[in-house]
Amino acid sequence: MNTFMRKIYLLICLLIFSSTTIFAYEDPRKFPDVDPKYIDIDVLDPNQKVGYTVGDYIEREIYLTVREPFKLIEESLPIVGYEKRYRGQLLGISLKAIDVSKESTDEFSTYLIKLKYQIFTNNVVAKPASITADYYRFINPNEPKKIQKFRVPAFTFAISPIAIFGDVKIENDMSPYRGPFFLNKIPDENKIKFSLIALFIISLIFVYIYGRYTWLPSRTFSMVYRRFKKQKPSAANTKKIITALHSGFDNLIEQSLFEDNIPLLIKKNGSFKHIEKELHTFFKISRALFFQKHIKLDQDELNKWLVNFALHCRMCERKLIVNPKDIKGISF
């Protein structure tokens, strides 16, 4: 008896569940139409009516005004993921997103409903398609058992094939309703221009860093070379460039540099190893000019040698290798 009663109870539950399910999916078209004086609707459809293909999106905006006492049953709005049907057949058009915003006053309620559909169908030839009409339901709180509907118009368009089927002459397939696809080449041109400008700037930076000559006096020996490379040969100018070179060496090793501690300079910057011979010559010139005044020096030749030595020091300061063929001695 208990088993029999359980089966009866289970059967009753299944019948109740089936009846509620059938009611939930009840055809809305059987409800009576609401009086149009209570409803204002404005549907904004895309201007494009042809040229859609699989994967494309279609967006609609519905402006709906509902006057009192009616209220929109929001559960009657389309459901995301629902695929449109026509006479029971799937149309291959699915609702991907819905956004509803509402503003209410004492006299009416305004809804902005944004719908986004995606096409999942295609054909070897162009075929008509449509977003079928929807039926929104409304209720009057004074008559809660009397539900009424309002029809949202359909949107008809054409789905084009991905590729032309069969042997078609292009001049016979040029439709005024399907314009050509234009490629915007401006972004690509801008990318090329910016890339060339960046390449030019980077090239200048590398040439400046690794080049033999300098334009901007950024370091000690660069400023010495730039300052004295065009000076007129004279004893006073020669003393100035020698003093500037001594000051540069002292700043580099952070102490006074003499001929006997040249290895300290080479330890600080190994590039000066390539001009070690010139360093010894420089100190001989310095002693002769400041302490051995009986030695006569050719100012023209001396000035050229010191400017060239300043250039070599500038290259060593940037850790560039000086060409041994550029290293020359001086007689005095």
Q: How many whole angstroms separate alpha carbon 224 and alpha carbon 72?
A: 86
The answer to whether residue 61 scores a pLDDT higher than 90 is: yes
Nearest-5° angle of CA 286, CA 288, CA 290? 65
**Structure confidence at residue 212 as a pLDDT band (50, 70, 90):** low
Q: How many whole angstroms separate alpha carbon 314 and alpha carbon 215?
A: 12
Average pLDDT score over the chain: 80
Work out the average pLDDT over 62-80: 90
Q: List strand residue ranges (DSSP E) for the chain, in order.
A: 39-44, 57-67, 71-72, 83-86, 89-104, 108-119, 127-131, 134-140, 143-152, 155-159
Higher pLDDT, 312 or 123: 312
216 to each of 101, 102, 224, 242, how far by Cα in Å? 63, 66, 12, 21
Higher pLDDT, 177 or 138: 138
pLDDT of residue 49: 85
Work out the average pLDDT over 58-69: 92
Q: How many whole angstroms separate alpha carbon 182 and alpha carbon 22?
A: 51
Q: Where do the structural domains in the chain lie, given as residue ranges? A: 27-165, 220-326
The answer to whether residue 211 scores a pLDDT higher than 70 is: no
Work out the average pLDDT over 106-123: 89
The answer to whether residue 320 scores a pLDDT higher than 50 is: yes
Work out the average pLDDT over 155-165: 77
The answer to whether residue 196 scores a pLDDT higher than 90 is: yes
The fold for domain 27-165 equals Immunoglobulin-like (2.60.40)
What 3 state SS string does 179-196 have? Answer: CCCCCCCHHHHHHHHHHH
DSSP state of 26: -
pLDDT of residue 21: 38
Work out the average pLDDT over 13-31: 53
Higher pLDDT, 290 or 175: 290
Work out the average pLDDT over 12-20: 52
Task: For 219-242, write each residue's pLDDT tens digit.
Answer: 678 888 888 888 888 888 888 888
pLDDT of residue 116: 93
pLDDT of residue 168: 53
CB atoms near residue 4 (< 10 Å): 8
pLDDT of residue 20: 40
**Structure confidence at residue 62 as a pLDDT band (50, 70, 90):** very high
Higher pLDDT, 152 or 323: 152
Long-range residue pairs from 190-197, CB within 8 A, at least 24 positions apart, any chain: none
Q: Is the dihedral of CA 309, 311, 313, 315 positive or negative?
A: negative
Task: For 249-307, write each residue's pLDDT tens digit.
Answer: 888 888 888 888 888 888 888 888 888 888 888 888 888 888 776 667 778 888 888 88
Percent of the chain with pLDDT over 70: 79
Of 306, 325, 326, the C-alpha closest to 221 is: 306
